[in-house]
Structure 1
Amino acid sequence: MTMNSALRAYKASQQLNQNPRDILANVHAELYRAIVSAKDAHEQKKLDVMCEHVARSVRILTVLVATLNFSAVGRNGTTLRAFYQRLLNLMNGGDRGGNVPNSYELAIQLLQPLCKEFHKTPQG
């Protein structure tokens, strides 16, 4: 175990007491960072770094698609599942048509409003 991995584990353990909305907000923020980083690495022609960030975003999206109980919220769940699947297709290259930067930009544009919504302070 390296010092960096130990620090990451410690930071992650601090999130264990958070409510589900906070956890989802953090997951989506990490997804957003991974996609933005992939786009930046592509623009800098650092393809190995880009692949690491793409792989991270695909892992996050795969877990979201595989584990969230979309049926519990009816039609909204169907829409949300399609949203995640669209992002997953973009990051896997299924929607690229040869235009990587546009795929990353579209994924960022799709995800940004959701990230902003998660970070709004709930009214109580």
Structure 2
Amino acid sequence: CFLGAEFCIVLKKLPRHLRALMQQVNLGIVGGGTVGGGVYQAVQRNGPLMASRLGVSLAVARVAVRDVRKKRAVRIPARQLTTDWREVVEHPKVDVVIELMGGTKVAREVTLRA
């Protein structure tokens, strides 16, 4: 899996009948820098392969970044971007939040709220 062993283990441990109900897992990414952009790109490029291995498809619903106007190595559609991490954590379509912003204070708050 391209999103880290822990994430994939959690999804694989879901009983098959629950995975069947969850045909798609919507991700919220907090942090759109090098790592966050890489995760976004991995989901976009390798989505079908990940789905075949996990039994569910993955989609990125929202991405929180510091500056939505900043030029990024990976193009993320403006409709998915926000500068407020709370919009990612509280978004009704987000099933799993991935904290990739670095640091400890705000990152801890994101993790606890998610």
Tell me the TM-score normalized by structure 1.
0.30
Rg larger in structure: 1
Q: Which has the higher helix share?
A: 1
Q: Which has the higher strand share?
A: 2
